[in-house]
């Protein structure tokens, strides 16, 4: 048994009130940032454990916080958070979650997912835009300072922040910089001020950040949660696929989108494409420029 495994087991025992004896660990694929394992205990309990370098502790802390926020409405399933911590030797940080066995969608699963997401958005309103702490989208820091105006939040904490990172990383030449500033200036005319309250969104909802459990119910994972506009949520669902027409039709039956949503959704995608540029490099620069030119 490794020192990290021993610390994880101690944390499980302390948090759950039941001692944890390891039967086996199984590596879990699919992540590009963290090491992930399935812990199978002697008493049959199962846990999902992420680990990384110690400086990733704050990322795990905020992921746990986002899951707890999404769990409260009891609309869509999320893995139950257990604990996070540092290994005794200081070499690792870790996050412990409920293990959810993947299953297959039922014929109605996608429709039910759309209904669930719309219901989540309706039930989780706030007075301002932001979150109680900054968090991460992928491994990129995501500022969540509270703002009363959505336009100010989007300019400062989302679009402007990613444009600054692109400049810092050397991806923004003079044309890129000029277009970025023009888009920031045009933000208010593009997205306006829809008469909707800030709503809790997953924040990074693409096909890799949900799964279906063994009952065919959607499960949200890896959130970058904050209170924002629901159109910004739907923008990410349309960027990398994984959601069919039944999902969107069911969503809009519960809460129809406002006029002009299609163009605004395309605009919100710029944030995520910029984030991919900052995470993965120049292969996303052309896509960023296309969107910047479209909205400048």
Q: Specify which residues 35 forms β-bridges with.
A: 51
Q: How many CA atoms lie within 13 A of 44 on its CB side?
A: 0
The Cα–Cα gap between 220 and 196 comes to 23
Structural contact between residues 47 and 98, judged by C-beta atoms closer than 8 angstroms = yes
Among residues 204, 213, 222, 244, the one annotated as catalytic is 204
The Cα–Cα gap between 204 and 235 comes to 10
Alpha carbon dihedral 279, 282, 286, 288, in 10-degree steps, equals 30
Length of the chain: 296
H or E stretch covering 106: none
Active site residue 204: yes
Pairing of strands 226-228, 199-201: antiparallel
The Cα–Cα gap between 26 and 47 comes to 11
Token digits of residue 294: 């479209």
CA torsion sign for 164, 167, 162, 293 is positive
For the chain, the farthest-separated pair of C-alpha atoms sits apart, in whole angstroms, at 61
Q: DSSP class of residue 37?
A: E
Structural contact between residues 142 and 272, judged by C-beta atoms closer than 8 angstroms = no
Tell me the Cα Rg of the chain: 20
Active site residues: 204
């Amino acid at each position: 048994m490794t020192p990290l495994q021993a610390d994880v087991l101690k944390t499980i025992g302390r948090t759950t009130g039941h001692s944890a004896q390891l039967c086996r660990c199984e590596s879990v694929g699919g992540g590009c940032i963290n090491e992930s394992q399935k812990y199978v205990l002697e008493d049959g309990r199962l846990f999902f454990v992420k680990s990384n370098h110690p400086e990733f502790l704050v990322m795990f802390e905020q992921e746990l916080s986002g899951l707890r926020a999404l769990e409260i409405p009891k609309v869509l399933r999320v893995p139950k958070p257990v604990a996070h911590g540092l290994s005794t030797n200081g070499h690792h940080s870790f996050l412990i979650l409920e293990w959810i066995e993947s299953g297959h969608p039922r014929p109605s699963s996608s429709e039910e997912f759309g209904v669930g997401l719309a219901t989540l958005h309706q039930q989780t309103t706030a007075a301002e835009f932001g979150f109680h702490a900054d968090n991460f989208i992928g491994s990129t820091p995501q500022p969540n300072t509270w703002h009363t105006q959505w336009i100010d939040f989007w300019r400062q904490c989302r679009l402007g922040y990613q444009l600054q990172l692109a400049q810092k990383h050397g991806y923004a030449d003079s044309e890129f910089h000029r277009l970025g500033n023009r888009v920031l200036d045009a933000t208010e005319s593009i997205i306006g001020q829809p008469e909707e309250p800030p709503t809790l969104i997953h924040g990074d909802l693409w096909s890799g950040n949900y799964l279906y459990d063994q009952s065919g119910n959607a499960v949200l994972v890896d959130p970058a949660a904050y209170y924002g506009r629901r159109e910004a949520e739907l923008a990410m669902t349309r960027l990398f696929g994984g959601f069919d027409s039944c999902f969107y039709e069911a969503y809009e039956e519960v809460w129809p989108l406002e006029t002009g949503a299609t163009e605004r959704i395309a605009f919100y995608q710029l944030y995520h494409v910029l984030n991919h540029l900052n995470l993965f490099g120049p292969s996303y620069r052309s896509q960023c420029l296309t969107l910047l030119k479209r909205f400048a």
